[in-house]
Structure 1
């Protein structure tokens, strides 16, 4: 993984984390928004500007890739670089959790 990518994305924003986490399956922006709302009991609501700005930046940086268009919606999926970044963030979150006394 490129050092710049690691520096830019780790630690991740909550929004970035949820977008990458969701894109382990092919999804479009609206699907991601709905899934994140469901996963967080409505506590995290990703607006369209944030969503599409994040998707564009992540695609440009090689963390996700455009898969296909379906009913005028672009579907994306995480790349191997994105998976590496996501795994680093998951390990960071696990370490934080352990350090506050979680198991």
Structure 2
């Protein structure tokens, strides 16, 4: 796996999560909004910048490029990185239990 930085940015996390089903850019923006329950509305500048980085880090690939739109998909490395980040986030939530104990 090329990607070694952690933690992931929120944009990277949600793009990888949305790419569990291959998508192209415009559909991907809607899928991100859907998987985040409306919390994340990603613009094209952020989306395409992060897609370029994820491609460079080999976490996504282009499945199809018809000249007008590219369809992206998550790779095994991307799935592994997403799972590592998901576990890290879950651990952070678990660590925060102390807040409930002190309320």
Shorter chain as denominator, the TM-score bin is: 0.7 to 0.9
Structure of larger gyration radius: 2
Q: 1:48: Cα distance to partner? A: 0.5
Q: 1:70: Cα distance to partner? A: 5.5
Q: Which residues of 2 match residues 1-103 of structure 1 at below 5 A?
A: 1-2=1-2, 5-7=3-5, 10-69=6-65, 72-101=68-97
Secondary structure, counterpart of 2:29 in structure 1: helix
Aligned residues: 98
Instruction: Mark the runs of 5 or more structure 2 residues left unpaired by the alignment.
Output: none
What is the rounded CA distance, in whole Å, between the counterparts of 1:74 and 1:43 in structure 2? 25
Q: 1:60: Cα distance to partner? A: 1.4
Secondary structure, counterpart of 1:42 in structure 2: coil
- TM-score of the pair, normalised by structure 1: 0.84
